[in-house]
Amino acid sequence: MPQSNAGYLDAAAGLPISAVARAAEQAATEDGWADPAKLTGPGRRSAVLLDAARETMARELGVRPDEVNFVPSGSHALQLAVLGTVAGRHRAGTRLVLSAVEHSAVFKAADWHASRPGALPDAELVEVVGVDGLGRVDLDGFVTAASRPGVAAAVLQSANHEVGTRQPVAQAAAVLRERGVPLVVDATHEVLYGPAPAEAAVFAADARMWGGPAGVGVLVVRRGTRWLPPFPVDESEAGRSLGVVNVPAAVAAAASLRAFHVDRDRHAARLSAFIEQIRGTVECDIADAVVLGDPVDRLPHLLTFSSLYVDGEALLTALDREGFVVSSGSSCTSDTLTPSHVLVAMGALTSGSIRISLHPDVTDAEIERFLEVLPRVVDRVRADLPASGRTSLSEEPSQSPATAERLIDARGRRCPLPILDLARTWPDVELGEVVTVLADDPAAESDIPAWSRMRDQEYLGSMPREDGAVAYRVRRLS
């Protein structure tokens, strides 16, 4: 990895193109520029390279070459996986079941499926199954939903892209196979260090995750699975894709996955040890922070934590100034002002959430410096937070009109400010007293219950108001 990428701890957003990929792409350019579907000499030479890439990719994924299709991106792979499987099952039904923590490309596919002309109302067509506090899907709920009549396909990721929790794909697949329902698996992050989901009917991967070029997604359709194109296709990739395949990029994707896999176990062990060090630092040296996801059954190279009273974007910027690139599921960093749907589905704190994901070339020195820098940066960002909003004894009628309730008006304030307002008020709150927070930031819906849990206080619930804000009520227990 070039020096310019030192401090890059955002591997799960895509790796720099590896040296192997660059060399393979350049070597394949001379003979791989032509349309491999053409029967002319250049076309045949291109087809030979594409076949070789397909064989390498198939070997690395443990499938047959004719099950591997190169498509224009990881998002294309996911959407073709989901919607093509649904289309192939049109005789069985049109319902789609997915977990609440799938990648946004899967949700976009589901939305599109539900909104086609002539489609049934959304609720009928797409069923979303919840996850527990670690981000793991409710397996019973998932297989029950997927076993209902009219289900065309069920979708489950191998491991979550935001918090790293592995999903019970093998168990779900075993049950669904018996019931004849195809399981579509998002294997984007699992194929790096773990096995590909051999039990899936269809799965998808993205070459950007292992240092391949952009523009290469991998769609694997196992033999025996009925799959039909959901969008217009042509003769490309056996009628599963559209447009001339970028053959040098496919060659680079396959070569770089093979190279990535050579030392996969050693890398996984090393990165996993780094991740445990980071976990230790977060848990010991950062106050009011919580590491998210399953602590054991998880991706080896990824860790996410949330921290109270921190603006995620400010934290990203501060770490960037220290030379570290990470990502955040906090709504503070998003244009839409909605927090990560994964964290919300988990009921996790979204405030100040930071995902750290490591690449195999990360150095001991980088990790050491990150561990040294991280707590200091969190402290600094917290210190820079603005003043609190208005707090008052309620002038509005409370739920139980007998008692006046303390009211915090955090309307117009974005995360993490509503929680900060709550925390700053807390020392004045008496045991047993109920505080109401008025907030219109969508993150509050996840963050106020999460704060209450972290602080061992009693979250009493929420109620929408006419002005569009929501009133959240918390009772002081300790």
Quick check: 93 binds a copy of itself (CB under 8 A)? no
Helix-then-strand count for the chain, H and E: 15, 15
Stretch that binds a copy of itself, among 2-10, 54-62, 136-144, 218-226 (CB under 8 A): 2-10
- Phi and psi angles of residue 410, each rounded to the nearest 5 degrees, phi first: -105, 20
Rule CB under 8 A: choose which of 75, 157, 225, 457 binds a copy of itself.
75
**174/431 Cα distance (integer angstroms):** 51
Among 84, 164, 215, 360, binds a copy of itself (CB under 8 A): 215
With CB under 8 A as the contact rule, the residue among 105, 200, 255, 282 that binds a copy of itself is 105
Q: Does 320 engage in binding with a copy of itself (CB under 8 A)?
A: yes
Residue of 64, 65, 112, 391 that binds a copy of itself (CB under 8 A): 112
**Count of residues touching a copy of itself (by CB under 8 A):** 64
**Residue 88 in contact with residue 228, Cβ under 8 Å?**
yes
Q: Which of 213, 329, 389, 449 binds a copy of itself (CB under 8 A)?
A: 213
With 0-12 / 13-18 / 19 or more C-beta atoms within 10 angstroms meaning exposed / middle / buried, residue 3 is exposed
410 lies in the site for a copy of itself, by CB under 8 A = no
Which range touches a copy of itself (CB under 8 A), out of 61-69, 159-167, 181-189, 236-244? 236-244
Measured from the CB atom, the residue of 206 and 288 that comes closer to a copy of itself is 206
Selection from 289, 292, 277, 337 nearest residue 315 by Cα: 289
H or E segment at 69?
strand 68-71
User: Is 468 among the residues that bind a copy of itself (CB under 8 A)?
Assistant: no
Amino acid identity, position 472: Y
CA gyration radius for the chain?
24
Phi, psi angle pair for 337, to nearest 5°: 65, 15
Compare residues 19 and 404 and give the one whose CB is closer to a copy of itself: 19
Among residues 110 and 422, whose Cβ is nearest to a copy of itself? 110
Shortest Cβ distance from residue 57 to a copy of itself (Å)? Answer: 17
Beta bridge partners of 129: 99
Residue 244 lies near a copy of itself (rule: CB under 8 A):
yes
Closest C-alpha to 373, from 360, 356, 361, 348: 356
- 40 near a copy of itself, rule: CB under 8 A: yes
Sheet holding 289-292, edge to edge: 289-292, 302-307, 354-357
Of 38 and 177, which CB lies nearer to a copy of itself in the complex structure? 38
Quick check: 245 binds a copy of itself (CB under 8 A)? Answer: yes
Q: Under the criterion CB under 8 A, does residue 26 sit at the interface with a copy of itself?
A: yes
362 interacts with a copy of itself by CB under 8 A: no
Q: In what order do the strands lie in the sheet with 458-464?
A: 390-393, 406-409, 434-439, 470-475, 458-464
Q: Does 121 bind a copy of itself (CB under 8 A)?
A: no
Q: Is-contact 408 425, C-beta < 8 A? A: yes
CB contact set of 101 (below 8 Å; sequence gap of 6+): 131, 135, 137, 157, 160, 162, 341, 342, 345, 346
Q: From 134-142, 162-170, 232-240, 389-397, give the range in contact with a copy of itself by CB under 8 A.
A: 232-240
Nearer residue to a copy of itself within complex by CB, 373 or 460: 373
Residue 249, judged by CB atoms within 10 A of its CB (0-12, 13-18, 19+), counts as: buried
How far, in Å, CA of 25 to CA of 177, rounded? Answer: 39
Interaction between residue 76 and a copy of itself (CB under 8 A): yes
Structure tokens that stand for 369 in this block? 């410096």
Stretch binding a copy of itself (CB under 8 A), from 106-114, 354-362, 370-378, 425-433: 106-114
* Helix, strand or coil, per DSSP, at residue 76: helix
Interface with a copy of itself in residues 298-317 (CB under 8 A): 316
* From 14-22, 60-68, 408-416, 424-432, span contacting a copy of itself (CB under 8 A): 14-22
Nearer to a copy of itself, 316 or 439 (CB): 316
Catalytic residue, from 17, 191, 415, 419: name it.
415
Q: What distance in Å separates the CA atoms of residue 358 and residue 72, rounded to the nearest whole number?
A: 25
Q: CA-to-CA distance for 158 and 196, rounded, in angstroms?
A: 9
Within 13 A of 18's CA, how many CA atoms are on the CB side? 26
Active site residue 415: yes
Q: Which of 29, 338, 388, 391 binds a copy of itself (CB under 8 A)?
A: 29
Any contact of residue 333 with a copy of itself (CB under 8 A)?
yes
Q: Which stretch binds a copy of itself (CB under 8 A): 69-77, 338-346, 403-411, 421-429?
A: 69-77
Our finding on whether 239 is near a copy of itself (CB under 8 A) is no
- Give whichever of 182 and 212 is closer to a copy of itself, judged by the CB atom: 212
Which runs of E-coded beta strand occur in 158-232? 183-186, 202-206, 217-221
Q: State the residues that interact with a copy of itself by CB under 8 A.
A: 2, 4-5, 8, 10, 13-17, 22, 26, 29-31, 33-35, 38-43, 72-76, 79, 104-105, 108-109, 111-112, 116-119, 208, 213-215, 217, 231-234, 236, 242-249, 316, 320, 325-327, 333
Active site members: 415
